[in-house]
Structure 1
């Protein structure tokens, strides 16, 4: 198994300028159909992280077989098999514990890193402009490969802070790179999955971390049958606002939570609809429920 300490020195010396002090942490569970896309993007990247930590959380498919195939092709790949399923938050914590670099980059193994991501986020962090850096992302349908949208996250810390305090996402989880100490001091809480992303970044924000989003897509964000973005129960939204109230000492009206949930469900039905007229119907409903958010999303397309 390759680690950052035993990378072949001849190969490392040839590519010294293209290896950055970054630990990538990706937790996998049964994502075999997407792993070749994931690893090929890293294999063909002109810039590599010093550690590409791939945690397999007890997958039942051939994920590990695919991952081991890339060990010789990606010199900084570290494969961490957990054996039994520990849960997404716990799997990420195992990877973070293993990470030894200055920064941690989060990505999910069903998504695809874009070429400029590492360098652009690394430069922002090295400049001291922020402690946590996200970006926008291209949303695409796994089944068709078709791009269906572009995220539109706020850029500056003050606006991100306002959004998070409202109980909404100020950064997109798999686009984030941050100081390693922030992840180690604010571990994921398994009980808060699938709202673990709002939880960890709200805690980082509350601890004084400064946030920033690069206003260009640095990730291809896959939507498929099992993706968290496709399956969004009311309990996730309810949990998110409960976490917000606990962290920021606020009190959220349940009627508002229901209203916001209906907006999100309608907007996602619009995104995933194969029928143009049905899609427009759901877009109309989403606009009625939250016209401000729909307008912002449409302006980003």
Structure 2
């Protein structure tokens, strides 16, 4: 039983003052209160360290930690994991916001499935000024489905993760995979047989911050992401594909994609799906999740190919999109495609507001 178990909230902070109050207050106001909150300043140049000190003086659950120099996210995460004294570790980014019941709801899932190791959840994207833009549904829910997802992309939303502390202490983040450390560790754990799950409802607000690592180091992130995907597919399927074919399959497209290459990529996705199902023999619910993920992946590939195509080549890609129209008509596909259109994202919630403990 998880009742009464301590949860360590691990929140690295670097120049995080702009959104610090919202992030920390959303943790302090969690309905699950047995928390250890590690606020780790990684050599910030703004007043983040001062804010950490102030918060630590008003809530004994907060453990202030100050790196003597900037260590970077991966080393800071590993440092926090080793310091953590909780039975579980919950991640949190310093510019995001958690729903008040996030930790309580995710912790309950470990009671429902004692073999569970790591869980995450759906989330909302919010703008830098706190406007909710759209909902992001998990790519799959079950562990075996997520293993297949991990051949191509990050299977779970890292900042929303709650996992057994023992798992993270035994499996540190790998600093070779800078800016894609989450994809690396979660795909590695899935390959090693650790049990994952996604909670379908959104429990987190992820800020689209132009100053974040994802935006500032996009080229490095794409390169590292590709490297991890190549490793994952080679390790499982003993296959290595043409570089450009692989880039299309994982939707890291910044070049003109030929009609032939695009179709080869879509067919290769189906081939890998069939081989995975033959090897694993999962139940029907897993097969359905994998097929729904592939619908979304193919839609993304088609749309990104059109976006990246030279003007005179866009007609060819558009023809290919029409040839794959059933993807967009499918219930899952239509919902996914429409969610990408700004005017379709209505009735979205406002971000939760908390009275700040520190002014």
Q: Structure 2 unaligned segments of length 5 or more: list them.
A: 255-302, 309-316, 340-344, 346-359
Q: 1:268 aligns to what?
A: none
Identify the structure with the greater strand proportion.
1
Q: 1:155 aligns to what?
A: 141
Q: Retained in 1: the 8 A contact 2:143–2:190?
A: no
Q: Where do 4+ consecutive residues of structure 1 move more than 3 Å?
A: 17-20, 228-232, 256-259, 281-284, 286-301
Pairwise CA RMSD: 2.9
User: Which residue among 58, 80, 93 is the counterpart of 1:73?
Assistant: 58
- Residues 240-281 of structure 1, C-alpha deviations (whole Å, 9 max, x = no match): 231233345242432135442237xxxxxxxxxxxxxxxxx9
User: Equivalents in 2 of 1:111, 1:283: separation in Å?
Assistant: 31
Q: 2:243 aligns to what?
A: 254
- Residues 122-151 of structure 1, C-alpha deviations (whole Å, 9 max, x = no match): 1112331521101011100013x2111111
Comparing 54-63 with 121-130, greater Cα deviation is found at: 121-130
User: Equivalents in 2 of 1:147, 1:171: separation in Å?
Assistant: 20
User: Equivalents in 2 of 1:18, 1:66: separation in Å?
Assistant: 31
Q: Retained in 2: the 8 A contact 1:151–1:297?
A: no
User: Equivalents in 2 of 1:18, 1:56: separation in Å?
Assistant: 30
User: Equivalents in 1 of 2:156, 2:34: separation in Å?
Assistant: 21
Q: 1:113 aligns to what?
A: 98
Say if 2:81 is the partner of 1:96: yes
Q: Which structure is larger by alpha-carbon Rg, 1 or 2? A: 2
Q: 2:199 aligns to what?
A: 214
Q: Retained in 2: the 8 A contact 1:117–1:219?
A: yes
Q: Retained in 1: the 8 A contact 2:14–2:41?
A: yes
Q: 2:336 aligns to what?
A: 297
Q: 1:10 aligns to what?
A: none
Q: 1:276 aligns to what?
A: none
User: Equivalents in 1 of 2:137, 2:128: separation in Å?
Assistant: 21
User: Which residue among 143, 157, 169 is the counterpart of 1:184?
Assistant: 169
Q: Alpha-carbon deviation of 1:73?
A: 2.8
1:201-280 alignment, distance < 5 Å = 201-231=186-216, 233-248=218-233, 249=235, 250-259=239-248, 260-262=251-253
Q: Retained in 1: the 8 A contact 2:214–2:221?
A: no
User: Which residue among 29, 40, 45 is the counterpart of 2:14?
Assistant: 29
Say if 2:42 is the partner of 1:57: yes
The 1:238/1:283 distance shift into structure 2, 3 A limit, reads closer
Q: Alpha-carbon deviation of 1:113?
A: 1.1
The 1:79/1:298 distance shift into structure 2, 3 A limit, reads farther
Q: Structure 1 unaligned segments of length 5 or more: list them.
A: 1-16, 264-280
Q: TM-score, normalised by structure 1?
A: 0.79
User: Equivalents in 2 of 1:67, 1:34: separation in Å?
Assistant: 13
